[in-house]
Amino acid sequence: MTGTQDFDGLSALVTGGASGIGAAVATLLLARGARVAVLDLDPGGAPRGTLALAADVTDDDAVRDAVDRAAAELGGLHTLVSNAGIGSIGTVEDNSDEEWNRVLDVNVLGMVRTARHALPHLRGAAAGRPGAVSITQTCSIAATAGLPQRALYSASKGAVLSLTLAMAADHVREGIRVNCVNPGTADTPWIGRLLGRAEDPAAERAALDARQPMGRLVSADEVAAAVAYLASPAAASVTGTALAVDGGMQGLRLRPA
Ligand code: NAD
């Protein structure tokens, strides 16, 4: 319990909510009073107390069924957190068309499909709870940072950023707010998997920490707090915004020019 029950009476669906950032979001929304469903490829890790739904965001029918079930079992849908995503490493010379199609299918079209099926439910909820109905998408500082070895991943997150802004414009008059969070390097199982491939994972982790302006990674809970703010009634006037939770990675210039 956080003591703040600002999601009391609200229903939320979190995609990719069985691990990392999504699981932290689902846990926090639950603690703040929401009824929460998790849509995940592998829902075994969905936090206790959530409605766990198995679906692949690349499967339009499965997404529609899961979204409809969440709305039916939770009593409508006020909050969509579209967070499921996968990584990709390489330059444009490294990744095949097949790999591009796969990552864009999950990271971009996955959010399109989820929104498409959630919007009728969100629209239905907006009149009853003005300011409290929203979509928050997990983007990344990769959308705008120019990171090496992340051509495909960065392009996918650039698309998520543009999509967020366009959706915010399309649905503002319907009372549906649309924002995104841009995490820096966040300490989740995803990063654990990347480090696991290194020759010396502990040394690689120390080097990764040292490259961060704060000398440490961002935590999943810190990203979740930003998502919860954007989704909360306190952010009733916030739409079309990208909120960076990156320990200063993008904004700070620690060495003078
Ligand atoms: P994670 O791997 O810990 O969790 C991702 C979850 O998404 C998993 O539960 C996985 O099963 C689910 N998922 C993957 N593909 C899916 C699909 N096709 N359909 C349904 N569910 C699927 O990763 P994370 O670090 O928590 O990342 C979550 C989001 O945050 C992603 O969109 C990622 O791009 C973004 N992000 C992560 C970082 C980071 O450093 N960890 C930084 C910036 C942005």
Which segments of 32-74 does DSSP mark as H helices, in order?
60-74
Pocket of ligand 1 (CB under 6 A): 16, 18-22, 40-42, 56-58, 83-86, 106, 110, 138, 140, 183, 185-186, 188-191
Predicted confidence at residue 164, as pLDDT, reads: 98
> How far is residue 189's CA from residue 254's CA, in Å, rounded to a whole number?
28
pLDDT per position as a tens digit, 187-222:
999 999 999 999 999 999 999 999 999 999 999 999
Q: pLDDT for 43-94, tens place per residue?
A: 999 999 999 999 999 999 999 999 999 999 999 999 999 999 999 999 999 9
* pLDDT of res. 130: 85
pLDDT, average across residues 37-41: 98
Per-residue pLDDT, 255: 77
pTM: 0.97
| Interface predicted TM-score (ipTM) | 0.99
Query: Which atom of ligand 1 has the smallest separation from the CA of 20?
Result: 26
Cα 213 from Cα 197, distance rounded (Å): 24
The answer for residues whose C-beta is within 8 angstroms of residue 213's C-beta and 6 or more apart is 247, 248, 249, 252, 254
Residues with catalytic annotation? 153
> How far, in Å, is the centroid of ligand 1 from the Cα of 256?
35
Go through the chain and tell me how many residues it has.
Answer: 257
Ligand 1 center to residue 57 CA distance, Å? 12
Average pLDDT over residues 241-247: 98
Token pair recorded at residue 235:
């952010």
